[in-house]
Amino acid sequence: MKKIFLFLLFPFASLAQQVEAVKFSFVDSLMKNNSDTTYVINFWATWCKPCVHELPGFEAVTTKYADKKIKVILISLDFKSQLGSRLIPFVKEKGLKSQVVLLNEPDYNSWIDKVDKSWSGALPATLLINNSKHQHEFYEKEFTPEELNKLLNL
């Protein structure tokens, strides 16, 4: 009886965005993926004002181009200890539809150069990858929605 009651109270709970803590191997697998999908990988954090400011642009790409081979992945660099207390509530509050993961790799120096040798470590940072088109572009900047669309030629 309790399970039925809970489902009636929270019928949409299973539709909520899931945020998983991942290791760098997740990012590495995206960077080595040979599909014809363009991956828009944005490194951000809830405490980074420019990162939060540009999120609606990435969300617009996710929504508007859902039928195209473009996948936005928002990789949070928040602390793992804040996953439940800060990141998940933030994702729910903002209604983010793009895939969100938390990168649980506190030793930034061990992986930043693997993303791109030019990355100073500043946020926000965005990586565009489409290995079937030999595309690997890295940007250490805040994007406007217009810049994102132009970048993706959409």
CATH, residue 105: 3.40.30.10
Please indicate, yes or no, if residue 2 is contained in any of the structural domains.
Answer: no
Please indicate, yes or no, if residue 42 is contained in any of the structural domains.
Answer: yes
Please indicate, yes or no, if residue 4 is contained in any of the structural domains.
Answer: no
Query: Token pair for residue 72?
Result: 């936005």
pLDDT tens track for 72-84 = 999 999 999 999 9
Mean pLDDT (the chain, rounded):
89
pTM for the full model?
A: 0.88
Which residue, 29, 46, 35, is CA-closest to 100? 46
The dihedral sign for the CA sequence 23, 77, 112, 132 = positive
C-alpha to C-alpha distance for 109 and 107, rounded to whole angstroms:
5
CB of 63 within 8 A of CB of 89? no
Total domains in the chain come to: 1
**Sequence-distant (≥ 6) Cβ neighbours of residue 89 within 8 angstroms:** none
